[in-house]
Amino acid sequence: MTTNETMIGRADVNDVDAILAISNHDVDAVVHAVRSNSDAIFTWDYERTRQALSKLYEKAKTSQWNANDLAWDTEVDQLSVIEANRAQNRMIFEGHDLKGTPVESWGEDEWTQHAIEAQNWTLSQFMHGEQGALICTAQIVETVPWIDAKYYAATQVMDEARHVEVFARYLDTKLSGHYPINAHLKMLLDDIIADNRWDMTYLGMQIMVEGLALASFGFMHQMTTEPLLKQLLRYVMSDEARHVAFGVISLQEFYSQLTAAEIRERQEFAFEAAVRMRDRFLQQEVWEKLGVDVREMVDVTLNAPDRPIFQALLFSKIVPNCKKLGLLDAADGWLRHRFEELQVIQFEDWVDTSEEYTALDEVAKDRATAA
Ligand SMILES: [Fe+2]
Ligand SMILES: [Fe+2]
């Protein structure tokens, strides 16, 4: 039986020292190389047999948009935006007794500085994650054996280039600093890229990373009062919904041919990815930058009363999609039990993303309004 140690490198999911032992050692390097172990696959079967993928490909071709068309001339005063956001939304530590913690004496100014850093950090991680998606999807073009999937994945490569472009531009022109990639996100992306089984790229990227991105962009889209960021996020979300659907449609077909042992490996990979993504949201680099004790603050964050709600919302797309793929209940509900421990199982019957992309297509809606 596989243990937590072999899957995630620690017995207790909430072991703070083990979480912090993972750190990004080459923050000053300009490039990072990951060895890919996959074969590039040609197919001589050009028959278009996969209707759902074909439909998604047609949709992607007509839903392309140009990053230059967003309202980049919008004035963004980060400080006023943060104040407006804080006036409208409940924050994670609100109502939490911080006595005895490193931030017990913090007043308005410190919390404002924290919010600024947290925003720079969050958008930086979105940008790095988008580059991960760009690389993974280019890899899928090479490794997937089906022609319809190669066609679709090629459109996603273009989508992801545009996403990296918009987040980089927003960070450079509207915010006040970049962060290097979070250690846990980096570890996960490296694992996904290095795996030689083509379907694992899909599971790691399209189902787990992009499922979380879709929920997280939706959350920020609702929270922010800044119109350019709102517009940027809803355009990116239109694309992301197709990407997650691409994962669900492809893996549903592929998983139907796998053995129980092979499905169990996919369950374990999904669990590992879920833990890495949960760990990345602890924002350890922000506390470090603000000069407070990182270990204590990660501990406080893990135990914040509102944290299970924030964390669970981020998993609102992943859990139903894993259920649709049969990953929750295979092997006597192995992944269901893990998701119960992470307190995210309540989303299992929320809408899955295989069809949701039409509803989320803001680009088509805007074009219909303009016409
Ligand atoms: Fe993306
Ligand atoms: Fe994507």
Is it the case that residue 219 has pLDDT exceeding 70?
yes
DSSP conformation class of 68: G
Distance 179 CA to ligand 2 centre (A): 21
Distance 291 CA to ligand 1 centre (A): 32
Distance 151 CA to ligand 2 centre (A): 15
* % of the chain beyond a pLDDT of 70: 98
Is it the case that residue 264 has pLDDT exceeding 80?
yes
Mean pLDDT of all residues in 339-361? 81
Distance 115 CA to ligand 2 centre (A): 26
* pLDDT tens readout for residues 6-36: 888 888 888 888 888 888 778 788 999 999 9
- What amino acid occupies position 33? A
Mean pLDDT of all residues in 180-204? 95
- Ligand number, closest to the Cα atom of 156: 2
Identify the pLDDT of residue 367: 80
Distance 57 CA to ligand 2 centre (A): 14
In this structure, which residues have their CB less than 5 angstroms from ion ligand 1?
130, 133, 160, 163
Nearest to 210 by CA among 242, 257, 186: 242
DSSP conformation class of 144: -
Mean pLDDT of all residues in 61-81? 96
Segment among 7-16, 161-170, 269-278 with least mean pLDDT: 7-16
Confidence of residue 361 (pLDDT cuts 50, 70, 90): confident
Identify the pLDDT of residue 231: 96
Identify the pLDDT of residue 1: 63
Give the contacts of 134 (CB within 8 A, at least 6 positions apart): 157, 160, 161, 163, 164
Identify the pLDDT of residue 91: 67
* % of the chain beyond a pLDDT of 90: 68
Is it the case that residue 370 has pLDDT exceeding 90?
no
Tokens of 319: 């859990």
Kindly report the average pLDDT of the chain as a whole number: 91
What is the gyration radius of the CA atoms in the chain, in angstroms? 20
- Ligand number, closest to the Cα atom of 210: 2
Task: List own/partner pairs for 312-316 with CB under 8 A and 24 or more apart.
Answer: 312/343, 312/344, 312/346, 312/347, 313/215, 313/219, 314/212, 314/215, 314/216, 314/219, 314/277, 314/281, 315/212, 315/215, 315/274, 315/339, 315/342, 315/344, 315/347, 316/215, 316/347, 316/350
Longest dimension (CA), the chain: 67
Distance 280 CA to ligand 2 centre (A): 18
Distance 143 CA to ligand 1 centre (A): 20
Identify the pLDDT of residue 90: 64
Distance 132 CA to ligand 2 centre (A): 9
Distance 11 CA to ligand 1 centre (A): 33
Distance 160 CA to ligand 2 centre (A): 6
Distance 21 CA to ligand 2 centre (A): 29
* pLDDT tens readout for residues 75-129: 999 999 998 888 777 666 777 788 999 999 998 899 999 999 999 999 999 999 9
Distance 220 CA to ligand 1 centre (A): 15
User: DSSP assignment of 101-126, as one string?
Assistant: STTTT--HHHHHHHHHHHHHHHHHHH
Identify the pLDDT of residue 359: 76
Identify the pLDDT of residue 88: 72
Identify the pLDDT of residue 28: 84
Query: Considering the entire predicted model, what is its pTM?
Result: 0.94
- Ligand number, closest to the Cα atom of 236: 1
Residue holding tokens 């790095």?
A: 128
Distance 207 CA to ligand 1 centre (A): 12
Identify the pLDDT of residue 2: 79
- Ligand number, closest to the Cα atom of 128: 1
Distance 209 CA to ligand 1 centre (A): 10
Identify the pLDDT of residue 302: 86
Distance 10 CA to ligand 1 centre (A): 30
Distance 338 CA to ligand 1 centre (A): 27
67 or 364, which is more confident? 67
Segment among 117-131, 185-199, 324-338, 353-367 with least mean pLDDT: 353-367
Q: Are 148 and 49 in contact (CB under 8 A)?
A: yes
Distance 161 CA to ligand 1 centre (A): 8
Confidence of residue 354 (pLDDT cuts 50, 70, 90): confident
Instruction: Look at phi and psi of residue 20 and say left if phi exceeds 0, alpha if psi is from -120 to 50, else beta.
Output: alpha
Mean pLDDT of all residues in 242-257? 95
Distance 261 CA to ligand 2 centre (A): 29
